[in-house]
Amino acid sequence: MKEITLLGATGSIGTSSLQVLRLHQDEFHLHAAAACSSVDKMLAIAREFKPHRLAMFDKDSAKKLRQQCLDENLDCEVLEGEEGVIEIAGDGEAAQVIDAIVGAAGLKPVLAAVKTGCEIGLANKEALVMSGRLFFDEVKKYNAKVLPIDSEHSAIFQCLPGGLQRTLGFCDLEKYGVKNILLTGSGGPFRTTPLDELENVTAAQALAHPVWSMGPKITIDSSTMMNKGLEFIEASYLFNAPGETIKILIHPQSFIHSMVAFKDGAIMAQLGQPDMRTPIARALGYPERLESGVNLLDFVQAGQFSFVAPDFNRYPCLKLAIAASKMGQGATTTINAANEVAVEAFLKAQIGYMDISRVCAEVLEKTKHDNIYNLEEIFQADSVARECARKVIGNF
Ligand code: NAD
Ligand code: MG
């Protein structure tokens, strides 16, 4: 039995992960799960998967859940607060810890898991955007193994030769003849919207993604292509890829999940339905292939595949994230924090749609980006950027 710990168990990736686990109850057991505040969903997980430990970031929610577990005689310890989430992530009982927490909140827990030398199923891209160098130094130090779950990075991982799959964070791409990483994206719901109408986009419009069904923050990020920008940074750390080797390509149908081009002219692509259960199953079962519940892609039904280059006037967030990637970890932490604050403000209708990129640009401009490395410096840069973003928003 392989023990699994699932952080962010009640979200979109968490729910898809549970669907895959449900298909393999003889091979996997859910050791522990963490979430922010969804008591009912966590109770349902406790009933069905019988985990040993649960943690809720929100302390009142943890207290409610603890009482309900007691009332139902569920033999499950319930921890609370950030410390509780970090404790279950790092207790060393799981063979694989999946980090599907959204945003910066996923960083400390995943670093605690890395220290146990386990497999890390990594969906939480913000953790890498903030700490890529430190993260992989820790992975090396504690002999942990990273398995990407973000669909593009899982695709790239699957297209890479085995030697590179085993050296994530330190890949020698040149040695294996890798010339380019082709990171694909759907272009989101506003790919063809006239540019002058983008200012008036509402949260409800931006939350309706044409292809993927995901949590609210990443859905907005997909529409601005900040998501692709964060993925650019994520790829640069995961595959130790210099910025100029990563090319971004819009592929609206999202059947190709990314590609790797080699110096002899060969291009490897990973294809399939746009369904996160495939990359989750790839991570959970690695190196074996698991049933994921996803149907095979029907090429005749799929029809045309098309590709266009991204237009930076339409997607200023993408341009900013690529620029931040060149500036280093201080800038990537800054843009990530500014974006989290801006997206939250947009979802509350406090700022307009195109203001998201304006906030990110202004925060990048107004803060200085030292070449930061350790956790203290990262969280310092994160909070300075959040503070600055709130001020910028206040002045709109
Ligand atoms: P979501 O909003 O649906 O779920 C987030 C989960 O994190 C929830 O379970 C929530 O309770 C938990 N959470 C939030 N704050 C927490 C905290 N402080 N402590 C503990 N748990 C906390 O988000 P999602 O769409 O599932 O995305 C999760 C992560 O995976 C993000 O980083 C996203 O970029 C990445 N990702 C998602 C998809 C997708 O298809 N949804 C694809 C690729 C990558
Ligand atoms: Mg992705």
Q: Are 241 and 227 in contact (CB under 8 A)?
A: no
Distance from C-alpha of 63 to C-alpha of 85, rounded to nearest angstrom:
14
Distance from C-alpha of 28 to C-alpha of 2, rounded to nearest angstrom:
5
> What per-residue confidence (pLDDT) applies to 128?
96
> What per-residue confidence (pLDDT) applies to 92?
98
Distance from C-alpha of 322 to C-alpha of 325, rounded to nearest angstrom:
5
Which residue type is seen at 148? P
The atom number, within ligand 1, closest to the CA of 105 reads 18
Distance from C-alpha of 168 to C-alpha of 139, rounded to nearest angstrom:
9
> Which ligand has the shortest distance to the CA of 209?
1
User: Residues lining ligand 1, CB < 6 A?
Assistant: 8-14, 34-36, 38, 57, 85, 100-102, 105, 123-126, 150-151, 212, 214-215, 217-218, 276
Structure-token pair, residue 284: 């959970």
> What per-residue confidence (pLDDT) applies to 213?
82
Beta bridge mates, 30: 4
The atom number, within ligand 1, closest to the CA of 127 reads 32
Mean pLDDT of 304-314: 97
Q: Which of 118, 131, 126 is nearest to 169 (CA)?
A: 131
- Alpha carbon nearest to ligand 1 atom 18, residue: 105
Strand pairing of 96-99 and 2-7?
parallel
The atom number, within ligand 1, closest to the CA of 103 reads 32
The SS3 of residue 117 is: coil
Q: How far is the CA of 258 from the centre of ligand 1 (A)?
A: 22
Q: Which of 338, 342, 329 is nearest to 378 (CA)?
A: 329
The burial class, CB within 10 Å (0-12 / 13-18 / 19+), for 273 is middle
What tens digit of pLDDT does each residue of 186-238 get? 999 999 999 999 999 999 999 987 787 889 999 999 999 999 999 999 999 99
Q: How far is the CA of 18 from the centre of ligand 1 (A)?
A: 14
Alpha helices in 26-124 (DSSP H): 39-49, 59-71, 81-89, 107-114
> What per-residue confidence (pLDDT) applies to 396?
86
Sheet of 119-122: strand order equals 77-80, 53-56, 28-35, 2-7, 96-99, 119-122, 145-148
CB hemisphere CA count around 319 (13 angstroms) = 11
What tens digit of pLDDT does each residue of 67-112 get? 999 999 999 999 999 999 999 999 999 999 999 999 999 999 999 9
DSSP string, 238-273: HTT--GGGEEEEE-TT--EEEEEEETTS-EEEEE--
Mean pLDDT of 129-155: 97
> What per-residue confidence (pLDDT) applies to 152?
98
If you ran DSSP here, which 8-state letter would residue 308 be given? B
The atom number, within ligand 1, closest to the CA of 212 reads 40
Residue with tokens 């990129």: 357
The atom number, within ligand 1, closest to the CA of 214 reads 41
Q: How far is the CA of 70 from the centre of ligand 2 (A)?
A: 39
Q: What's the distance, Cα to Cα, between the start and end of the chain in Å? A: 55
What tens digit of pLDDT does each residue of 157-197 get? 999 999 999 999 999 999 999 999 999 999 999 999 999 99
> What per-residue confidence (pLDDT) applies to 335?
98
Alpha helices in the chain (DSSP H): 12-22, 39-49, 59-71, 81-89, 107-114, 125-142, 151-159, 162-165, 203-206, 216-224, 226-238, 277-285, 299-302, 316-327, 329-347, 355-366, 375-394
Query: Which residues are in the CB-under-5-Å shell of ion ligand 2?
Result: 150-152
Structure-token pair, residue 354: 């195109």
C-alpha radius of gyration, the chain, whole number:
20
Q: How far is the CA of 181 from the centre of ligand 2 (A)?
A: 14
Q: How far is the CA of 200 from the centre of ligand 2 (A)?
A: 26
> What per-residue confidence (pLDDT) applies to 371?
85
> What per-residue confidence (pLDDT) applies to 211?
80
- Classify domain 2-148 at the CATH class level: alpha beta
Q: Are 51 and 30 in contact (CB under 8 A)?
A: yes
Distance from C-alpha of 285 to C-alpha of 275, rounded to nearest angstrom:
17
Q: How far is the CA of 77 from the centre of ligand 2 (A)?
A: 33
What tens digit of pLDDT does each residue of 243-281 get? 999 999 999 999 999 999 999 999 999 999 999 999 999
Residue 365 has pLDDT above 90, yes or no: yes
- Alpha carbon nearest to ligand 1 atom 14, residue: 36
Beta bridge mates, 353: none
Distance from C-alpha of 175 to C-alpha of 184, rounded to nearest angstrom:
24
- Which distant-in-sequence residues (6+ apart) come within 8 Å of 139 by Cβ? 114, 120, 145, 146, 168, 169
> Which ligand has the shortest distance to the CA of 232?
2
Residue 141 has pLDDT above 90, yes or no: yes
Q: How far is the CA of 9 from the centre of ligand 1 (A)?
A: 8
> Which ligand has the shortest distance to the CA of 123?
1
The SS3 of residue 105 is: helix
> Which ligand has the shortest distance to the CA of 183?
2
Mutate to test the pocket of ligand 1, among 80, 120, 218, 273 (most ligand atoms within 8 A of CB): 218
Average pLDDT over the chain reads: 97
Q: Is the pTM of this model over 0.95?
A: yes
Q: Give helix 316-327 / helix 329-347 axis angle, nearest 10°.
A: 150
Q: How far is the CA of 10 from the centre of ligand 2 (A)?
A: 19
